A and B are shown apart, each in its own frame.
Chain A
């Protein structure tokens, strides 16, 4: 079953002075079960608009958006989905524990199962200490972690996360990355938007790049990385003079260059594949759109 199905989706808003703003243009996308999909795009590209349509917050101008095989406007479609909005805000007069219980009950959890899940997500996202404090007093990072906790409380099959890393400190970022990798290994479907390429590189199976409301490319992350490997950096050192240098070599010429370096009396200390990473792939697409 396709978890998310978007067909020929367009969205136009009325902007300032009643001018029409085309936020999305005939976008199509399908996400399979068990897939981890990174939705990459610069600010204002239409990532959040797409996610809002999938979550039924706004309706498409044309096209269809389906979640779990149902029209996105159906509330039942979200029963097995965990959602983290961008810069989330929660009823701030409640404590984290109260809010998580509120969410869990709406997802139909109760009794022992609820308590188990509550303890699980609280410790998973390191919110044990703050659980009885009102959300009002939380830092941005804590709210973000709570956001992930409430998306995970009912152990959903599918996770839709809008900028899950934003507002987190390095520790929190590492934690969330860890959590996402774990979920991926459990076979959950993850759809998340970001503008940070390295996160996609580490976590995702597939990546989609959206610029100016149009889906520019959908690729397997592996393929992009392989395609972009261009050669190797060879770090060498002369044992007597202590001279260091780095030599670049293409894959083909690698053995020859290593041999010739040795002949000159250098020792090879490090061999690094020079990968043009996802970032350059992404920047190339953005650049070509500006031209």
Chain B
């Protein structure tokens, strides 16, 4: 009897602790911190023969961190992302496993629009090309970066040629020439994003690409309407509102980031969000 009471008491004690404890853990603000990551050389030595696992784990860590930031941004919480930290970890990861495509892919995803560290992105892609010498994605990314951001068309053409050689797919060799000169940057970016989207199923990354793609497609719609207006009227439109009033733009432009589209002084289509939630918030203030 005494024993039974004692066992009951211990159980009761456990339940009375574990319930608030679980509630506390659930409500704890979830922010994945990147934390400290040792150097690649240290990691390679200490990970013994598990360096590929460590590499994958590092990339997962960055991905979760990015995922939590993305959630926060959607909820209009402004946490400045630690891009350098993320890329440092990715670089460590690909030193451990230079074949890890997840690393290059993710670095490409965050280093370009978000962070504008194009040289760093292309250096990383160059490093990856030495190992993944069969993979057309790496030169394709590097080519896009060179053309779209750096406007270094000869370099871009070189990368696209390499991508074309690897796939035998003519689109890549045409890309540099046709899209850059005939259709302009927006079209190029749309093709790039569609390729990126088609080759991943990670939800966070997909959502971020889909948002950007939607914004770019809106931009493209505005650009097409603007060019049509110029062709019909023989002059530049004063604003995007004028395009709507004349019916050149059949329905209003929507920026998925929450900003407002406008025409700048050179006639380029821009948005107040600058393609980020944080930008949209700032412009409203």
- Contact, chains A and B (beta carbon distance below 8 A): no
Which A residues lie at the B interface, using CB under 8 A? none
